[in-house]
């Protein structure tokens, strides 16, 4: 059986939703039959990014909020790889949000897993873009003043062709979303409701179980953008499942140079760069 994880033991707090996300990644890699050399993971900085030590595949640990550009670059350098980004709501929806929109609009073939625990957890629980209004955190002792960022509505209105939400309390369901996201040709965003029992006491597993609603139990057509948008704006319940999925040509397939082969396979040592280097003299 192919190894999916390293021999290191995860350092997350007991009960952290990241354990379940790692379990779902393991199961998804198995179901997809992806060998370690066929998958590349880019990790942002955060408790989520600590996953870098535990997944057995190609890996790159980026700066905070900067996980998405290297992922797009890896896909362009070797478009045979399946590329993943592991990122928190702070990195993905705060510091790195412009990259998220850029990859969505370009339809770069990368599967983005946002571990949405509604806080900056690694740095001890400060507010993030998704923290609910009014929540008291170490950086907002009088409660959050801002309205929360809506990741799904933002992705949907910025041309993302695969938008889903999962829950770390349901590994089989999350695994299905990961498999579907990887199989989708192009950018896929999977926002994952991730309990952080250490810092987000207001959203334990039981709270999520009371608030989630499975999209496959209601008659939702994932090709219907307007319906997906309406669902993404719901605040009374948290729908989980595939909100939106439509075919769209991935960026690398529209880029002429890549039609001739894999960039990483080209004999760059045989290209004469003298004239380019001369410009720097
Ligand atoms: C450019 C930069 N800004 C800030 C930090 C400090 N920092 C490290 S992790 C982090 C927040 C992590 O929160 P999130 O991205 O939501 O991930 P989580 O820990 O919740 O998984 C911050 C602000 C940093 N390392 N680099
Ligand atoms: S602080 Fe929260 S997100 Fe980080 S490891 Fe602990 S439980 Fe998980």
**pLDDT tens digits for 138-153?**
999 999 999 999 999 9
Shortest-distance Cα residue to atom 1 of ligand 2? 121
Give 231-278 pLDDT, tens digit per residue: 999 999 999 999 999 999 999 999 998 988 999 998 877 888 899 999
Shortest-distance Cα residue to atom 6 of ligand 2? 13
Q: Is the distance from the beta carbon of residue 18 to the nearest atom of ligand 2 less than 6 Å?
A: yes
Residue 95 pLDDT exceeds 90 = yes
Angle between helices 171-183 and 17-32 in degrees, nearest 10: 50
pLDDT at residue 142, rounded to an integer: 98
- The mean predicted confidence, pLDDT, of the chain is 97
Give the global pTM. 0.96
Q: Is the distance from the beta carbon of residue 84 to the nearest atom of ligand 2 less than 6 Å?
A: no
Map out the domains of the chain with their CATH numbers.
Answer: 17-278 (3.40.50.970)
Residue 102 pLDDT exceeds 90 = yes
Q: Is the distance from the beta carbon of residue 199 to the nearest atom of ligand 2 less than 6 Å?
A: yes
Q: Which atom of ligand 2 is nearest to the CA of 17?
A: 8
Asked if residue 60 lies in contact with residue 78, where contact means CB atoms within 8 angstroms, the answer is no
- In 3-state terms, the chain is what percent helix, strand and coil (to 5)? 40, 20, 40
Q: Mean pLDDT lowest for which of 26-35, 83-92, 144-153, 262-271?
A: 262-271
pLDDT at residue 270, rounded to an integer: 82
- At 211, the pLDDT band (50, 70, 90 cuts) reads very high
Ligand 2 centre and the CA of 167: distance in Å? Answer: 15
Ligand 1 centre and the CA of 41: distance in Å? Answer: 18
> Residue 65's closest CA among 79, 46, 41?
46
Give 260-272 pLDDT, tens digit per residue: 899 999 887 788 8
Residue 1 pLDDT exceeds 80 = no
What mean pLDDT is predicted for residues 198-220?
A: 97
What mean pLDDT is predicted for residues 35-42?
A: 98
Residue 21 pLDDT exceeds 80 = yes
**Is residue 19 helix, strand or coil?**
helix
Among 12, 118, 200, the mutation site with the greatest number of ligand 2 atoms within 8 A of its Cβ is 12
Work out the end-to-end distance of the chain between its first and last CA atoms, rounded to an integer number of angstroms. 54
Q: What is the DSSP pairing of strand 39-43 with strand 110-116?
A: unpaired
Shortest-distance Cα residue to atom 5 of ligand 2? 12
């Amino acid at each position: 059986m192919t190894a999916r994880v390293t021999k290191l033991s995860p350092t997350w707090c007991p009960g952290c939703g990241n354990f379940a996300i790692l379990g779902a990644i393991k199961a998804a890699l198995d179901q997809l039959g992806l060998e370690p050399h066929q998958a590349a993971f880019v990790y942002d900085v955060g408790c989520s990014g600590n996953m870098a030590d535990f997944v057995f595949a190609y890996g790159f640990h980026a700066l905070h909020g900067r996980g998405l550009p290297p992922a797009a670059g890896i896909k362009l350098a070797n478009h045979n790889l399946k590329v993943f980004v592991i990122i928190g709501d702070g990195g993905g929806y705060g510091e790195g949000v412009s990259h998220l929109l850029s990859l969505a609009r370009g339809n770069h073939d990368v599967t983005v897993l946002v571990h949405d625990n509604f806080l900056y957890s690694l740095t001890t629980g400060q507010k993030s873009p998704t923290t609910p209004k009014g929540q008291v955190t170490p950086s907002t002792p009088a409660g959050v003043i801002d309205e929360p960022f809506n990741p799904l509505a933002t992705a949907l209105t910025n041309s993302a062709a695969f938008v889903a939400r999962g829950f770390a309390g349901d590994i089989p369901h999350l695994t299905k979303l990961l498999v579907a996201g990887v199989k989708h040709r192009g950018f896929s965003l999977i926002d994952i409701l991730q309990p952080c029992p250490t810092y987000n006491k207001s959203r334990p597993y039981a709270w999520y179980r009371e608030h989630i609603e499975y999209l496959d139990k209601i008659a939702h057509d994932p090709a219907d953008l307007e319906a997906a948008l309406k669902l993404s704006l719901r605040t009374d319940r948290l729908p989980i499942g595939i909100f939106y999925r439509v075919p769209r040509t991935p960026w690398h397939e529209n880029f002429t140079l890549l039609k001739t082969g894999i960039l990483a396979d080209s004999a760059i040592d045989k290209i004469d760069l003298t004239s380019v280097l001369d410009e720097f003299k």
